[in-house]
Structure 1
Amino acid sequence: MTGSQHDPLDGTATLDPALGPTGRPAREFPEPEPLDGHGPARIISLCNQKGGVGKTTTTINLGATLAAEGRRVLAVDFDPQGALSAGLGVRTHDVTTIYDLLLTRQHEPKDAIQHTTVEGLDVIPANIDLSAAEVHLVNEVAREQILAGVLRRVAPDYDVILIDCQPSLGLLTVNALTASHGVVIPLECEYFALRGVALLIETIEKVRDRLNPAITLDGILGTMYDARTLHSREVLERVVEAFGDQVLETVITRTVKFPDASVASAPITQFAPEHQAAKAYRQLARELIFRGAVA
């Protein structure tokens, strides 16, 4: 594993000029071609049963950078904590939420969609009500496919739908995986985060076998990477050894700018557009487009 440069003030790292953190030659992904038209959306779940690994941060910032590349993006807050909604500054109370869409067909999905300050990025919000959804859905017919039915009604209007999953492998997460074409796994570069990946992969394979044969693993994204620590470098090296090219070349470094951006209810690409972390998320958007995970 090669060395990296870093900013001593906040611990962010830049890729080695020869090799990136994943041990592959560092490269810039090309600027994508503009789209001729929009839709139907490819649906991607951002999923990891461990909390605090960067799922919400990645959903917000990937959504913003894809929108900046001319894609129409819908972010679905599928976590009762509502962090995605708060991070984008949208209302979560006295409005139609994803919970309402799951539990009744009286609401149209379009009624729940809220625009954000990022042009091209919309949100379906969530709040604590969603925590009761699993109890209510357990006796429903085809309960694993209810979210898929909701998103099918808005997919023609978007190029990509990003689902921010809760840190669990329960019924809500299975709904997200059943509705999705692909999965991105944000993985904190820390040993205990690494331990849970095998279980998550197993869950994805079960969903593929029983509910959604088309689902693919779009990539494992290293997050909270700190090139100054041997531990961080070793964890990333082990992930690459185990999963090879399924590990995305883009790596998101640890920085204090992320919580600052959250307080400001803005993506880091708006809050600190020239920061290394903002550049990393722009690189991630282009890598996913380059890989064909996004149109």
Structure 2
Amino acid sequence: MTYLPYYLTLGLLSGFVAGLLGVGGGLILVPILVWLFTTQGFSPAHNMLLALGTSLAVISFTAISSVRAHHAHGAVNWVMVRRVAPGILGGTFLGAWLASRLPGQFLHYFFVAFLFYAATQMLLNFKPAPHRELPGSIGLSMVGSVIGLISSWVGIGGGTLSVPFMLWCNNKLHQAIATSAAIGFPIAIAGTLGYIVAGWNTASLPAYSAGYVYLPALAAIASSSILTAPLGARLAHRLPVAILKRIFAVLLYALGIKMAMGLM
């Protein structure tokens, strides 16, 4: 109960950022969850896995409202979602299972590198020029497995990867963002199940954990993030989002440096 205000505040922040900037919040959730779990005295060997699993579990709740909103505007390419889903589900579940068997510090280094990549992408407002059309079902499934695998190792809904890919494949920006939100839901579900299964019989996990998902943090963050995500979405049309993205990129750099320093 001592840490409940921290989890509620983290949910308010991640929900607001997700609604305002169109990111799923995992890039903020994971490093702060690692810090909170460490200060609570949880086993250092499991904190990164707990943060990844809990982040994906939160996204599985928050993605629902986002998908409904985009679907109401008719912006989701459901044909692509159906074709990419098998690879997404398989790659994400496999990635979560592999994560628990990788060398201890690998996920920390991988996450820091990805954090710097995402911050740079946001700082430069990177949008690849269209070069081709979407591949067929087999190609999309293969792409989905890669997006799912990487997303499971960084605890995100995949938008940082799937949006640039769809822009490269000649999709309009609003459709790419909407379809990415729909893809994020199976990523979150498969990743959550994968981390639950991977950690089910693991000893020394904190009480009230379902595998590598810490349920008190999930309940608090999901319940508060749902409140602020719509507010962020409304303000996105009134605030200078381009400037806010650069500020957020600086925050990601700071989080990445903080995590990198903890590895030294």
Answer whether TM exceeds 0.5 for this pair: no
Q: Tell me which protein shows more helix as a share of its residues.
A: 2
Max Rg structure: 1
Please, what TM-score do these two structures have when normalized by structure 2?
0.29
**Higher normalized strand content (fraction of residues):** 1
State the TM-score, normalized to the length of structure 1. Answer: 0.27
- Say which structure, 1 or 2, has more relative contact order (CA 8 Å, 6+ apart): 2
